[in-house]
């Protein structure tokens, strides 16, 4: 198995987003990050799924999962709102607050054009 580093630099982002790929399937995360930077709600949702399940080369991280589900829900993705609620049931109030802070930071950075 080879490791590849994929560096994404969205046009409207101040900083680059880096994703580590260990298999061909891990490109989903890199592709979703690029699409999410342009406000694609389905990509935001897919990132939430990846982080909530620890799949596609990312570790399970409920804070990140909540962030992505929250951003997708704000963009109108109905299933994301349900997934955000499910993830919230497994989180502390501090973890939810951190996820919300990260979502606001993502929006402030100009990475979502939607």
Tokens of 40: 């694609």
Q: Is residue 18 part of a domain?
A: yes
State the residue range of the domain holding 35. Answer: 4-108
For the entire predicted model, the pTM comes to 0.75
Task: Tell me whether strands 4-8 and 17-21 are parallel, antiparallel or unpaired.
Answer: antiparallel
Mean pLDDT of the region 35-47: 93
Question: Which residue in 83, 110, 113 sits closest to 99, CA to CA?
Answer: 83
What's the number of domains the chain is made of?
Answer: 1
Query: Residue 97: left (phi > 0), alpha (psi -120 to 50), or beta?
Result: alpha
28 vs 87, more confident: 87
Q: What is the pLDDT of residue 26?
A: 72
Summarised one tens digit per residue, pLDDT across range 61-107 is: 999 999 999 999 999 999 999 999 999 999 999 999 999 999 999 99
pLDDT at 41 over 70: yes
Look up tokens 């930077």; give the residue.
37
- Could you tell me if residue 85 is inside a domain? yes
């Amino acid at each position: 198995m080879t490791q590849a580093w994929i560096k994404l630099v969205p046009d409207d982002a101040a900083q680059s987003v880096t994703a580590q790929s260990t298999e061909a399937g891990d490109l989903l995360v890199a592709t979703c990050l690029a699409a999410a930077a342009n406000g694609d709600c389905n990509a935001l949702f897919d990132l939430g799924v990846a982080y909530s399940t620890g799949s596609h080369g990312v570790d399970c991280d409920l804070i990140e999962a909540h962030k992505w589900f929250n951003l997708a829900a704000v963009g109108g993705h109905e299933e994301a709102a349900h997934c955000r609620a499910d993830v919230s049931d497994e989180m502390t109030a501090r973890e939810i607050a951190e996820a919300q802070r990260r979502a606001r930071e993502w929006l402030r950075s100009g990475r979502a054009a939607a």
